[in-house]
Amino acid sequence: MWIEEREVNALWKGKMSYNRVSYLYNDELLQLATLNFELKQLLYKNELKELKSWAENYEISNMGFGREKTSYCYFAIAAALTSLPYDSYVRMFLAKSAIIITVADDFFDSIGSLNELQILTDAVQRYIHNQNCLDI
């Protein structure tokens, strides 16, 4: 019995030909989906714990100015990169980068001088030029 034989909404995602399921209520499929959900939740929880530990080790959260956005940065990245577990390294790298960028932005918004901002801008431009990051 296919999903098409059930009385469901004609626009329901499960009716797509590439997404067919032999039975609408399949206990094995439900169990597999539950295990997949629990595995993802455990992975995300462990990654967030590791990220918070990283931020504490480098005292990013105790700088005394700006926002502490460890969880926010991680969830923003994790929402975009959900391929499990292949993107775990990428998620952590991008979340750490976002946290560092947020801290730098807050520093220059609150206590950084224009001269210090110019020094940072020059350093980034030298790095980009030396790495040929803009070459296509």
Which residue positions in the chain have pLDDT lower than 50? 1-2, 18, 136
* Within-domain flag for 96: yes
The structural domain count of the chain equals 1
Residue 68 lies in a domain: yes
> Which segments of the chain does DSSP mark as H helices, in order?
27-57, 70-80, 88-110, 114-131
Q: Does 64 reside within a domain?
A: yes
Does some domain include residue 29?
no
Predicted pLDDT of residue 8: 56
Domain range spanning residue 87?
Answer: 41-131
Q: Is residue 110 part of a domain?
A: yes
User: Is there a domain that residue 104 lies in?
Assistant: yes
**Amino acid at position 120, single letter:** L
C-beta separation of 14 from 21 below 8 A: yes
Separation CA 100–CA 109 (nearest Å): 14
Mean pLDDT of the chain: 79
